[in-house]
Structure 1
Amino acid sequence: MKIPVGIVGISGYTGLELVKLLLNHPHFELSYAGATSQNELKDIFPSLAGVINLKVEVADVSEIKKRCNLVFLALPHTEGMKIVKELKGSNIKIVDLSADYRVSLENYEKNYCPHLDPEGIKSAVYGLIEINRNKIMGASLVANPGCYPTCSLLALLPFASMLESKFGVMIDAKSGLSGAGKSLKASSHFVSVNENMNAYSPLTHRHSDEIKEHLNLNSDANLDVMFVPHLIPLTRGMLVSAYAVLKGEFKDIQPLEILREFYKDEPFIRIRNEAVSIKNVAGTHFCDIYAINKNGKLWINGGIDNVLRGASSQAVANANLMFGFDEKLALPMLSSQI
């Protein structure tokens, strides 16, 4: 018998990707779909017509409790924690894709709003598998990292303790348009994005603190992070370039050797011998990484699919571990790009 699963916030791009992954999962079965209004799933996503017949209901915690053993919360920040609070004590495992449990209370309230569930922050596990695999296995609430922190942290963590803290880390990140979500806004109109590229929230973006917090928590470093995201005219995919200076005793390291050793047992990290291409990771759960050291100056290049590894497939990988399954189940490995 399959494990009944719910998705709340199913109408976004992340929700669609979760549906696709769950349809191919041997142990999970989508049994509940919640959103802000009633609909047919095939009417929200016409590509699902003839594939799955499921009603989308107005999200209701009492129904989630009756019908789910696992729930994915694909909701905006502030909305995830409302449902998590109501589900406490229900034995339902939760993967929250909002920002509500990803950072400390201090960093959350600095960047978002007053938190409704401070105790929940203490019990939540940050769902970056490569650093928290064992904790995720025993978790009931996993905070699924976002796309920018996922790609940036995976690129930087192998080198964090080798970097000069006085110079910090500069991250230049570029994301496809799906990272901006489905909400209508002038900045994501076709005429604004096509044949264009722009930075937004330079040095003030709220993911700066998430990257900094987890970079330093998972190393003996004390690094400042300067982060500048850009929107590029692609549907999906993300590229990160990180710049740093190595400490004197590490100035002659071979960065590809460091990366290969650090990630030697990780099935979804690929160390490249040349700069990363978004086409090689789009549509997959892989994170590709490349790095160069020139006289102690380090450039690290990472790439992921922002809606898969940066959201939905990472959420499924976390759920796999939470239920004791092979983390690779149902995760996409082949890019659909030509």
Structure 2
Amino acid sequence: MIRVGVVGISGYTGLELVKMLVAHPNFELCYAGASSSGKLSDSFSSLKGVIDMPIEVANADEIKARCDLVFLALPHKEAMSLASKLRKSGVKIVDLSADYRVSQENYEKNYCSHIDLDGLKEAVYGLVEINRDRIKNANLIANPGCYPTCSLLALLPFANMLDSKFGVMIDAKSGLSGAGKSLKPSSHFISVNENMNAYSPLTHRHSDEIKEHLNLAYNTDIDVMFVPHLIPLSRGMLVSSYGYLKPEFKGIDPLSVLKDFYKDERFIRIRTEPVSIKDVAGTHFCDIFAMNKDGKIWINSSIDNLLRGASSQALANANLIMGIDEAVALPVIGNSI
């Protein structure tokens, strides 16, 4: 068995990791870390009688001694502080924070000063469908953000076909769990129920993550206008991306492009009608639909923000770096009722 740790285990993404690790035939959860000690079943009562292990104050030396692989489900800056102490130890790292996802320029523009530039150079961006071979040989994985995952999987098949004069507009909507477990006025039930609102329009820090990795794929220069919205759902994400095709691609059938691009991918489903959050909630799937009308393209995508947008994507990356089939223990049947 491969010894696994989760640091930041008391958050929503930590819970999702635990649920999958309990069912994993090759991984054994040996270490549960957080900012304070306690008991896992006290953080999540659904785990009582299933896994009652203690939560320890995160300690790099303990992780090195007890883990072959660790998931860091920590806020930005905290993750790289710990990862920088673990990188040379032989412990494989899957980081769910933003700390290794983008260039130093984009990171420091949106977050804070980066304290592990060598790690930033070493890290592989963990969008499996695009970087699978690099992930297999990596020691540090930068797990993509939820909005970038849903947006990039939709846009990348068309990246070299989009007219950079117009860029792309991304209208994204996420369930409340994307805001995290911490209490804040904007996520109170009374604020969210029967309501919907945009936040950080055109300035959200995921804009630069999407733009950077979209343009890296084909050495393009496509601008991104990104507007996220909070919707009254526990989980799930729906993204609509709009753009103009270059004249030579004006007549393409976008569904054929998607089917060809993802023909060997088990967890991308190409739909023949607009996608639905309920079809993917509780699963690792990303569903995509697209339409082309006179060179104007609309691409519609949906994922579970906690799973494909965080924890199950992290597990797929972990499977690959440990030499296991990436699909092991990934959830495939969701909450469609």
TM bin, normalised by shorter chain, reads over 0.9
C-alpha contact (below 8 Å) 2:4/2:28 kept by paired residues = yes
Q: Determine if the alignment matches structure 1 residue 284 to structure 2 residue 270.
A: no
Task: Name stretches of at least 5 consecutive residues in structure 2 with no aligned partner.
Answer: none
CA drift at 1:337:
2.5
2:61 counterpart SS class: helix
Q: Deviations over 1:214-242 (max 9, x none)?
A: 00001232100000000000000000000
Please name the residue that 1:116 is paired with.
115
How far residue 12 of structure 1 moved from its aligned partner, in angstroms, is: 0.4
Within-5 A mapping of 1:289-300: 289-300=288-299
Aligned residue in 1 for 2:134: 135
Q: Distance in 1 between matches of 2:322 and 2:8?
A: 22
CA-to-aligned-CA distance 1:113-155 (integer Å, 9 cap, x gap): 1000011111000000000000000000000001000000000
Asked whether the 8 Å contact 2:87–2:93 carries over to 1, the reply is: no
CA RMSD across the alignment: 0.5
C-alpha separation between the residues in 2 aligned to 1:89 and 1:298? 46
Q: Distance in 1 between matches of 2:113 and 2:219?
A: 30
CA distance, structure 2, for counterparts of residue 144 and residue 82 of structure 1: 16
Task: For 1:321-336, list aligned pairs within 5 A.
Answer: 321-336=320-335
- Asked if 1:3 corresponds to 2:16, the answer is no
After superposition, residues 251-330 of structure 1 pair within 5 angstroms as 251-330=250-329
User: Can you give the 5+ residue segments of structure 1 that lack an aligned partner in the other structure?
Assistant: none
Give the partner amino acid of 1:61: A
**Identity across aligned pairs (percent)?**
72
AA matched with 2:5:
G
Q: What is the Cα deviation at residue 271 of structure 1?
A: 0.1
Structure 2: how far apart are the matches of 1:135 and 1:118?
19
**2:204 aligned with 1:205:** yes
CA deviation profile, 1:224-267 (whole Å, cap 9, x unmatched): 00000000000000000000000000001000000000000000
Task: Give the aligned residue type for 2:238.
Answer: L
Aligned to 2:47: 48
Report the AA paired with residue 264 of structure 1.
K
Structure 1 residue aligned with 2:27: 28
Could you list the per-position Cα deviations for residues 261-302 of structure 1 after superposition, in whole angstroms to 9, with x for gaps in the alignment?
A: 000000000000000000000000000000000000000000
Cα deviation for residue 336 of structure 1 reads 1.9
Distance in 2 of aligned mates of 1:252 and 1:94: 44
Give the aligned partner of residue 181 of structure 2.
182
Distance (whole Å) between structure 1 residues aligned to residue 212 and residue 87 of structure 2: 26
Q: What is the number of residues matched between the two proteins?
A: 337
Aligned to 2:237: 238
| CA drift at 1:46 | 0.3
2: CA distance, partners of 1:230 / 1:336: 22
**Which letter does structure 2 place at the counterpart of 1:256?**
L
**C-alpha distance after superposition, 1:89-132 (max 9, x if no partner):** 10000000000000000100011010000111110000000000
AA partner of residue 34 (structure 1): G
1:154 equivalent in structure 2: 153
1:53 Cα shift? 2.0
Deviating above 6 A after TM superposition, structure 1's stretches of 4 or more consecutive aligned residues are none
**Does residue 165 of structure 1 match 2:164?**
yes
Normalised TM-score (structure 2): 0.99
For 1:100, what is the secondary structure of its paired residue?
coil
2:160 partner SS: helix
1:73 aligns with 2:42: no
Give the Cα separation in 2 of the matches to 1:24 and 1:101.
28
